[in-house]
Structure 1
């Protein structure tokens, strides 16, 4: 007789390979499991609805997506790029540095790597490839790589998903992501500078210092968004979900009233795009909630904990194994699927090993971001390839140095919990 759990996994894999949404595949597999194991299949719908309706945290996701879409449709990206170019465009490989800095700034607004790559990325790639200053494949590669910073620096949609499965504070997770995100940006800037010197990339036109105040003033309304967002959260004025609503409203206000760069039709398409993205995430969350019930019934977390105890893994050995596992999974699975399927299985073992769950959350999110630029799946590689029309093989060749740099940053983040938890502890975290 076929094992119900084995059949459940087979159904999920087969449906996913056939092109079905991972969320739908998980729901289908879970229903088959419940039926074969002798449970009432209606448990699946009950579990799903309870999980969705009891999670106020999930409301932050569509609001952050909407804020990012509103920013992408207006002139915010252009003004932020002008500000970034005035700051760092004067150095060797300057537009590569602009790419890094603009991703850091935009990451404080959108919480989404894809939003960063599509919004800021399209503009900066055109700037880099104009007149053949940079190879299109390199422009695509560094844009994909720098977009990974977006969901690590707060706000962060993956952090919201991790908070859902780990029952950790979103505020502390957001705070824990700031320094690691800046570290990721730093190692990519160093790598860009190294490559620029070796390949003799140009020094871009220097913006006179006297023009910097005017450029900063024009970009100030956009630059204030992360200040308002994070100030509301850490000042105790808003919850992260309420802050997401404020961010969406502020982005709309700045785009329509201050910059006057958005029409009603643009706003309609932003709402439509946000609804589609939210539905995609919602289906994934729904599938994960249902599948997690199956995982609980199968006692998988306890099985893994017993395996770890039997082979006497040290904390360092366990973290190395987890990083290798997550990096390999990131080559084939979407980050949200890893967060919602794999991570809940690991959390009890992580707790038993004495690893802080906020620190672990940052490790997981950084791993999933590296997965976005790791072939063969590498979603960000396909996004930038679509923008540049460059062969994916050429982009992969140019992105490899940045993957290496990010893995170095991941190592520092993994084995320096005090570095990751410095800001959360300043804010009262007891971990």
Structure 2
């Protein structure tokens, strides 16, 4: 390991340790490497230009962020929740089931776990605690756990980022996430039912079945968005980036024209907030591009692949080992950092071991989403604490059971690749 690389890693750890944003730490550390190695700081500009402006797919990130923010600002979330209450609220642990089903539906619109938790999550927590049957910690915990499904079922911002670093088809990644997302929802609903029965949570007053058609009609335009996105991509009508633009436009028409719930001032606020969120992601992408150049210059991925080939490691052992590492890193790092900085190290090894990159990508993204609810640095736990003021201690006490069943679902995806690859293969994927 060269002195320049040691200096780079030291700077990143030092700056992150004193509380600097990880994007700034990565950028400064990478620039330090370029300066010490004699490559010249100007090279960073070329790497950024080549990476950011030649990747058309990156445009999908701000567009999905805008779509999610519009969904949260209008009455779309309320209508979806009323539909979910009528659909599954009548069963034991009804509001918990509503929470999970709402996340499953909303995940087909936002592509962001944070947008899910901060938007529809805040509303459902208030509904659960208002009934008096659920503790604040339980309502917040199941909300955080169900929000992890957001980036698994398409559209998915993390999958867009993974496609960027792995040169994998984003369309097949989106397809690969559908069944795992549904399985995550199913295990959360089963655990919610078990806990509701054990703790004696009451059954909500059922909505009359005659009311279900009316609520379905009210929510139907919003429910159409995932279908429009998937048909556009897999019907060959749009690229994933164009589908993101369609999603943003459809959300705008829905909120402003159809539901008449979006004012001009609110729309300006949405654009400003979306620009801030996109800039934060863009900074980290820029830093990761430079750092990935550093890693490639040091030939680390190829050295790692050669070392693992020498010890004759099996693909399954490698996958389990990487996922244990990612679960540990998820306790400390956010998902975007892991995807952009850590995963590129393992992609050459996956190719050498003939591990399918769609399977690896979906499993790794599920893993990083689980990391969003893993103490001590679970981003979703902090988001829900910020928007509801529920103490972190109460949320963490209740999160462990949901964390456990999600890890079991992750293990099933590792052991049985068909869970991820069945749908892509159905649509012609040959990996």
Which TM-score band (shorter chain)? over 0.9
User: Judging changes above 3 Å, is the alpha-carbon distance between structure 1 residues 101 and 131 closer, same or farther for their aligned structure 2 residues?
Assistant: closer
Partner of 2:292: 292
Partner of 2:188: 188
Partner of 1:318: 318
Deviation at 1:165, TM superposition (A): 0.2
User: 2: CA distance between counterparts of 1:29 and 1:391?
Assistant: 35
1:387 aligns with 2:391: no
1:154/1:177 contact within 8 Å kept: yes
1:67 aligns with 2:93: no
User: Judging changes above 3 Å, is the alpha-carbon distance between structure 1 residues 182 and 131 closer, same or farther for their aligned structure 2 residues?
Assistant: closer
User: 1: CA distance between counterparts of 2:154 and 2:379?
Assistant: 21
User: Judging changes above 3 Å, is the alpha-carbon distance between structure 1 residues 175 and 131 closer, same or farther for their aligned structure 2 residues?
Assistant: closer
Partner of 1:209: 209
Partner of 1:400: 400
1:173 aligns with 2:173: yes
Partner of 2:410: 410
2:100/2:189 contact within 8 Å kept: yes
Partner of 1:358: 358
Deviation at 1:317, TM superposition (A): 1.1
| Deviations 1:264-305 (CA, angstroms, capped at 9, x unpaired) | 111011101100000000000000000000000111112211
Deviation at 1:131, TM superposition (A): 4.1
Pairs within 5 Å for 1:28-39: 28-39=28-39
Q: Secondary structure at the match of 1:155?
A: coil
1:100 aligns with 2:100: yes
Structure 2 residues without counterparts, runs of 5 or longer: none
Deviation at 1:312, TM superposition (A): 2.3
Pairs within 5 Å for 1:275-290: 275-290=275-290
Give 4+ residue runs of structure 1 displaced > 3 Å after superposition: none
Root-mean-square deviation over aligned CA pairs: 1.1
Q: Secondary structure at the match of 2:202?
A: coil
Partner of 1:56: 56
Structure 1 residues without counterparts, runs of 5 or longer: none
Deviation at 1:123, TM superposition (A): 0.5
1:21/1:284 contact within 8 Å kept: no
Deviation at 1:388, TM superposition (A): 3.1
Deviation at 1:393, TM superposition (A): 1.7
| Deviations 1:173-210 (CA, angstroms, capped at 9, x unpaired) | 00000000000000000010011011111101101111
Calculate the TM-score normalised by the size of structure 1: 0.98
User: 2: CA distance between counterparts of 1:73 and 1:180?
Assistant: 28
User: 1: CA distance between counterparts of 2:201 and 2:269?
Assistant: 38
Deviation at 1:26, TM superposition (A): 1.5
Pairs within 5 Å for 1:62-141: 62-141=62-141
Partner of 1:41: 41
| Deviations 1:398-418 (CA, angstroms, capped at 9, x unpaired) | 010000000000011111112
| Deviations 1:361-392 (CA, angstroms, capped at 9, x unpaired) | 00110010000000010010111122332221
Deviation at 1:44, TM superposition (A): 1.1
Deviation at 1:2, TM superposition (A): 7.9
1:254 aligns with 2:254: yes
1:382/1:392 contact within 8 Å kept: yes
User: 1: CA distance between counterparts of 2:281 and 2:353?
Assistant: 31
User: 1: CA distance between counterparts of 2:303 and 2:147?
Assistant: 37
Q: Secondary structure at the match of 1:19?
A: coil
Deviation at 1:233, TM superposition (A): 0.7
User: 2: CA distance between counterparts of 1:285 and 1:27?
Assistant: 10
1:90/1:203 contact within 8 Å kept: yes
1:136/1:388 contact within 8 Å kept: no
145-154 vs 309-318, greater mean Cα deviation: 309-318
User: 2: CA distance between counterparts of 1:131 and 1:325?
Assistant: 40
389-398 vs 331-340, greater mean Cα deviation: 389-398
| Deviations 1:87-133 (CA, angstroms, capped at 9, x unpaired) | 10001110000000000000000000000001100110000000422
User: Judging changes above 3 Å, is the alpha-carbon distance between structure 1 residues 228 and 12 closer, same or farther for their aligned structure 2 residues?
Assistant: same
Q: Secondary structure at the match of 2:119?
A: helix
1:335/1:372 contact within 8 Å kept: yes
The count of residues paired between Structure 1 and Structure 2 equals 431
2:108/2:153 contact within 8 Å kept: yes
User: 2: CA distance between counterparts of 1:155 and 1:416?
Assistant: 23
